[in-house]
Chain A
């Protein structure tokens, strides 16, 4: 499998063929075969032959990948490689973009999330998302966390809601820091605390999968370390897919790493193997900081 992928790369130098003859363009449009282990036995989400187009531009080509239960999978790659696009496919966030077309199959616990009858509101409760920039609502800390359980009707009475808020803030490692000021605005917290508040808000609706799109890129190293520690703890209860530009973060927090390049999933493997002995030259070039 590896040899095939390498041969493909020898045929088509990355980034060089866009303006060449039709033959070369045809070669470029052929998806590269993924090297490594994209599939797992205990898959929570199964993605098969996923293609994403923004208008005429293809952002993801024929991607197949499993996301395993209670694993943290990190997605790395240069800007524009399709990793965030793929992450947003997993809870249909791309539906909000007019000219975005998604084809292929994405299943959550065996259910096709792109089924015409599927409702995106419960889907986004089951597959929560944490964004690059902390985005607490302009409400109190309590209301930020209570918002989801309220709209999804998860709490029958006030005591239950308070229990959910406390549990979520505790799981997000924020309870001790905010328990005495729950009714102060969430926007008054530090950047790292705001991000943990967003994580608490996400887990308050008991999702199965948490998607994180560069969750630490706006945070200092101490806040980053707290979030990474939290990710490790959350793994016991949730499945986590994280997009990161920090290779060291991917190496620290994830069990599997997926490398994306120009819309192709190039390599997936155990994180320690990807960072010590990657099988694909493109992966190696990227993680070692060489021109790929």
Chain B
């Protein structure tokens, strides 16, 4: 039980809030697993991992929908205020963010299938390494966020938020690098005759 959410005179309210909390952690665990499988699909060229991500999409979406419904029910029935209100709103935002993670995983998994199963040319290895590294960093950050959320550790939460700026800069640098490489690759392809298909694939 989460001490932050319990202690209500109406004990059923404790149960409702804790159930939402546990379900958010469950959704977070699924999202982390989806990221791991997606990265495997990209880095190890594992078609089965990409397929597993797509297979699990429906169950993740269902959990997301169930959580949305539960949060609306808690708001309607309990009219939470103060820290309960902040917790419920925080959990609603977390569900939306984790849903976003899931959709991105599905996008990347579909891309991995296109590269490794449908014959589309994958990006160069150095780009793939960078993407993998960015994915690992994001997953690690998400894992920390979920741990902090689970145990309601304020100090670690502040540290984690402070890391966001650093992480964001790192991402921007990586993205810039990717763009430069992409541009270089395009320039290289443009000098070769008969490579229009590859150029189109590179541009997506």
Q: Which residues of chain A have a CB within 8 Å of any CB of chain B?
A: 247-248, 251, 275-278, 284-285, 287-291
B window 1-36: CB within 8 A of A: 7-10, 13
User: Can you spell out 8 A-B residue pairs with CB atoms less than 8 angstroms apart?
Assistant: A275-B81, A276-B81, A277-B86, A278-B82, A284-B83, A287-B82, A289-B9, A289-B13
Complex Cα spacing A185 to B97, Å: 61
Which residue of chain B has its CB nearest to the CB of A248? B79
Interface of A: prevailing SS: helix
> Within 8 Å CB of B80, what residues of A?
288
Q: How far is the CB of B180 from the nearest CB of chain A, in Å?
A: 46
Residue of A247, A251, A278, A288 most packed against chain B (CB within 10 A): A288
Which residue of chain A has its CB nearest to the CB of B89? A276
B window 167-189: CB within 8 A of A: none
> Within 8 Å CB of A285, what residues of B?
7
Q: How far is the CB of B84 from the nearest CB of chain A, in Å?
A: 5
Which residue of chain B has its CB nearest to the CB of A291? B9
Instruction: Kindly list the 5 A-B residue pairs having the minimum CB-CB distance in the complex, ordered from nearest.
Output: A290-B7, A275-B81, A289-B8, A288-B84, A284-B82
Q: Which residues of chain B have a CB within 8 Å of any CB of chain A?
A: 7-10, 13, 79-86
- B10 engages A288 (CB within 8 Å): no
Complex Cα spacing A285 to B8, Å: 8
> Within 8 Å CB of B10, what residues of A?
289
Complex Cα spacing A65 to B60, Å: 53
Which residue of chain B has its CB nearest to the CB of A277? B82
- A290 engages B81 (CB within 8 Å): no
Q: How far is the CB of A272 from the nearest CB of chain B, in Å?
A: 11
Which single member of B8, B79, B85 contacts A290 (CB below 8 Å)? B8
User: With A247-B81, A288-B8, A289-B8 given, can you name 6 additional A-B contacts, CB distance below 8 Å?
Assistant: A248-B79, A275-B81, A276-B81, A276-B82, A276-B85, A291-B9
> Within 8 Å CB of A247, what residues of B?
79, 81
> Within 8 Å CB of B13, what residues of A?
289
Q: How far is the CB of B18 from the nearest CB of chain A, in Å?
A: 14
- B7 engages A291 (CB within 8 Å): yes
- A288 engages B79 (CB within 8 Å): no
> Within 8 Å CB of A251, what residues of B?
81
Complex Cα spacing A125 to B184, Å: 85
> Within 8 Å CB of A278, what residues of B?
82
Complex Cα spacing A285 to B4, Å: 11
- B9 engages A276 (CB within 8 Å): no
> Within 8 Å CB of B82, what residues of A?
275-278, 284, 287-288
Complex Cα spacing A276 to B86, Å: 7
Residue of B79, B82, B83, B84 most packed against chain A (CB within 10 A): B82
> Within 8 Å CB of A289, what residues of B?
8-10, 13
> Within 8 Å CB of B8, what residues of A?
288-290
- A287 engages B9 (CB within 8 Å): no
Q: How far is the CB of A220 from the nearest CB of chain B, in Å?
A: 18
> Within 8 Å CB of B9, what residues of A?
289-291
Complex Cα spacing A291 to B83, Å: 15
Complex Cα spacing A278 to B85, Å: 12
Q: How far is the CB of B21 from the nearest CB of chain A, in Å?
A: 15
Complex Cα spacing A284 to B85, Å: 11
Q: How far is the CB of A202 from the nearest CB of chain B, in Å?
A: 30
Q: How far is the CB of A187 from the nearest CB of chain B, in Å?
A: 34
> Within 8 Å CB of A290, what residues of B?
7-9
Complex Cα spacing A257 to B18, Å: 29
> Within 8 Å CB of A287, what residues of B?
81-82
Complex Cα spacing A167 to B84, Å: 44
Complex Cα spacing A290 to B80, Å: 12
Complex Cα spacing A284 to B80, Å: 11
Q: How far is the CB of A156 from the nearest CB of chain B, in Å?
A: 50
Q: How far is the CB of B76 from the nearest CB of chain A, in Å?
A: 13
> Within 8 Å CB of B79, what residues of A?
247-248
